[in-house]
Amino acid sequence: MARITAGVATSHVPAIGAAIDNGKMADPYWAPIFEGYEFVKQWAKDNTPDVVILVYNDHASALMLDIVPTFAMGFADEFLSADEGWGRRPVPVVYNHIDLAAHIAEQLVIDEFDITIINEMDVDHGLTVPLSLVFGQVEEWPCKVIPLAVNVTQFPTPSGERCWKLGEAIRNAVKTFPEELNVQIWGTGGMSHQLQGTRAGLINKEFDNRFLDLLAHEPEELATWTRLEYLREAGTEGIELIMWLIMRAALGYGVEELHRFYRVPASNTAVGHVVYKALS
Amino acid sequence: MPRQRLYSLEELEDIPGTKVFTAKSSRLAYHLHKFCMSLMAADNREAFKADERGYMDRFKIPEAQKQAVLERDFSKLIELGGNMYFLVKIASTDGWSAQKAVGSMSGMSPEEYGAMMIEGGRSPEGMRSIRENR
C-alpha cells in the first residue's frame, strides 16, 4: 500500500531559484536563507520518497490566461521547466508517476473533487524552486513528481476550507493505492507578501508565525480562516498559504515537526519552511 | 440551501492600496496578458525590444494599456485589470528584478524599497481596512 510519510512546505520565491542558478548561494543576502534549508537537504537524502505530490500555483506560465482551473493535476509523462521571461531554469526534467496520478484522479472524483487533468504543460518556479531547495543541484530529480496546481491568483480562488478537504481526499486516495510507495506531499508558496499597489512589500511576521504555530498541531483552526483574512493580513500573494493546508490535511491527525525556518526577506517575500513527519 | 458567503464581495475592495484580481479583471486584461505570455519565447522578446509598439500592435490591446506598457507603469496596468504574474514577464524581458518591478508601484525608489524589505518589509498596521481605518 502507498503511504504519505512526510510533508514539506516552503516558499517558492523565483529569486531563490535565480540565486541557485547563478551561483549566488554564498552571497551575504542569500546565505542565511539557504542555511535554513540545510536540514531538509540532508533529511531528503535519508528519506527520499518514491513520489512527491507537489502542490503549487502556476504563475501565468501554463495556466491562468485561457483556462483557470481551480485544482488541476499534471498528467503528462514529463514536464519541462518554463521560460518565464529569462530562459528556462537549468533544472532536470520532472517525471510523473502516471499510475498513482490516475488513481488519485479517480478517487478524488469519488470524493467529490472533480479535478482538471492537464496532458501538456511546462512547470514554473512554483514547482521547480521547491525541488531545488530540497534536492539541490542534481543531474536528475531523485523521485517522481505529481504536479497539483491550485488557482490562488484569480478570484474566486478556492477557500482554505476547501483546500483542507482536498488534502483529506488526497490522503484517502493515496492510502488505497495497492502498490508499495513512499509518498510525500509538499505545499508551496507564501508566506506573507504583496506584489502590487502601494501596499507592495507587505510582510506580517505575527500572522506568519501564528500560521506556523497552528499548522503543526491545531491546523483545523486554520481551515476556518477566510480568503479575505489572508488578503488583509498576509497580502494578495500571501493567500498562497492555503496550499500549505492541502499538505497538512493530507498528513492526517498527528505530525512531528522536524524542522521550522522563517526569515524576511527573499526579494519581496517572507520565507517559511517546515518539515513534518506523519505519525499516523 | 445555498451556502452563505463569509464576507461580502465589496470587502475585497476595502484593502488599502490593493486591487484584487478577479475573473472580471482578467477579461479587461485578456489581450494584454496574452502579449505578456508571448514574452515567454526568446524570439518574441527580441521582436518586442526591437519595436515595442509594433510588436504590441499584433495583439488587440486597448491603447491605454499599450501606453502604460511603453511607460512601464505597473500601477496603471494593475488598475486596468492586469495581474503581476503576467506583467512581471515584461520586467523580466527588460532584465529588471521582480523586486524592482514590484517596488516601482510603491512610490519609493528601488533603494528605499529594498531597504524597507531588508528591515522586515511593510507593516500591515493601518493597511488592513479603508473602512475601519486599521
What average pLDDT score do residues B8-30 get?
Answer: 95
- At residue B52, φ and ψ (nearest 5 deg) are -60, -50
Query: Could you tell me if A89 and A124 are in contact, meaning their C-beta atoms sit under 8 angstroms apart?
Result: no
Residue B45 burial (10 A CB sphere; 0-12, 13-18, 19+) = buried
Q: Where are the domains of chain A?
A: 2-264
Please indicate whether, in this complex, the C-beta atoms of A265 and B26 are within 8 angstroms of each other: no
Identify the CATH class of A2-264.
alpha beta
Q: Which of A125, A217, A259, A273 is catalytic?
A: A125
For residues A17 and A90, what is the distance between their CA atoms, to the nearest angstrom? 10
What average pLDDT score do residues B42-67 get?
Answer: 98
pLDDT of residue A182: 98
pTM over 0.90: yes
pLDDT over 90 for what percent of chain A? 99
First and final CA of chain A: distance in angstroms?
14
Mean pLDDT, all residues of chain A: 97
Q: Is A125 a catalytic residue?
A: yes
Domains of chain B are 19-95 (1.10.700.10)
State pLDDT tens for residues A89-138.
999 999 999 999 999 999 999 999 999 999 999 999 999 999 999 999 99
Name the residue in chain A with its Cα closest to that of B117: A265
Residue numbers of A between 135 and 174 with CB closer than 8 Å to B: 153-156
C-alpha cell, A238: 500571501
Mean pLDDT, all residues of chain B: 96
- Quote helix, strand, coil % in chain B, to nearest 5: 55, 0, 45
Longest dimension (CA), chain B: 57
For residues A223 and A88, what is the distance between their CA atoms, to the nearest angstrom? 36
Q: Which of A193, A217, A259, A273 is catalytic?
A: A193
Residue A252, CB-side half-sphere exposure with 13 Å CA sphere: 17
pLDDT of residue B5: 86
For residues A153 and B13, what is the distance between their CA atoms, to the nearest angstrom? 16
Name the residue in chain A with its Cα closest to that of B101: A195
Q: Is A97 a catalytic residue?
A: no
Helices (H), chain A: 14-21, 31-35, 38-46, 98-110, 125-135, 160-175, 205-217, 219-222, 227-234, 242-250
